[in-house]
Amino acid sequence: MGAGSGIWPDDACRKRLASEVPALMDSRLIPGLSLAFVNEGRISHRAAYGLADASSGRAVTHDTVFEAGSLSKPVFAYAALKCCEAGVLNLDTQLADYLKVPYLEDDPRHRTITARHVLSHTTGFPNWRRKKPLKTHFRPGERHSYSSEGYVYLQHVLSHLRPEPTA
């Protein structure tokens, strides 16, 4: 599906998408999908396939909102790295140093967690704490363990670092 001479995708590409996407969705048990092509900052093509809600039969539209889940992590990581680039955050500074009040009271190991640990999933935090109190399960940086809780911690820190609005 290469770019044609006009606005991408060209007519041949659109026809191929319309014929192949539903079959691919069926083969992977994907109930609904929405896609968009952006060309020079503008949507040049968009399409909606399948069902947004299989139980009611509601179809996917161009306005259907899908849960992004962990797909938001790369976007947040980009924002955190832009904060590093701007000098607001340092990858290797302990996140606790940015806060006036500790994030966790009863876990001294959490004070050694850095943004680099969060972004590389080496915080020592579990993925989600469930109903248990949050704590590190190993020394930060020691090994990899996927952790959404680490991203929540970094989000908490960044929310304290953003500049206050001026009047």
Domain boundary among 66, 82, 97: 66
pLDDT tens-digit profile, the chain (167 residues): 444 445 678 889 989 999 999 999 999 999 999 999 888 888 989 999 999 998 999 999 999 988 877 888 999 999 999 999 999 999 999 999 999 999 999 999 999 999 999 999 999 999 999 899 999 999 999 999 999 999 999 999 999 986 655 55
148 is catalytic: no
With beta carbons less than 8 A apart as the criterion, state whether 15 and 30 touch: no
Task: Out of 66, 81, 112, pick the residue that ends a domain.
Answer: 66
Q: If you write DSSP's letter for every residue of 49-108 in order, what string do you get? A: EEEEETTTTEEP-TTPPPP-GGGHHHHHHHHHHHHHHTTS--TTSBGGGG-SS-S-SS-G
Per-residue pLDDT at 68: 78
pLDDT value of residue 117: 98
- Catalytic position from the list 70, 72, 145, 148: 70
Long-range contacts of range 94-98, CB-CB < 8 Å, 24 or more positions apart?
A: 95/153, 95/154, 95/157, 98/157, 98/160, 98/161
Residue 24 resides in a domain: yes
Residues 91 and 54 reside in one and the same domain? no
Q: What's residue 50's pLDDT? A: 96
pTM above 0.85, yes or no: no
For residue 164, what pLDDT is reported?
57
Domain residue limits at 23: 11-66
- Considering the domain architecture, whether residues 81 and 150 belong to the same structural domain is answered as yes
What pLDDT score was predicted for residue 69? Answer: 79
Residue 115 lies in a domain: yes
Q: Are 25 and 50 in contact (CB under 8 A)?
A: yes
Asked whether residue 5 is domain-assigned, the answer is no
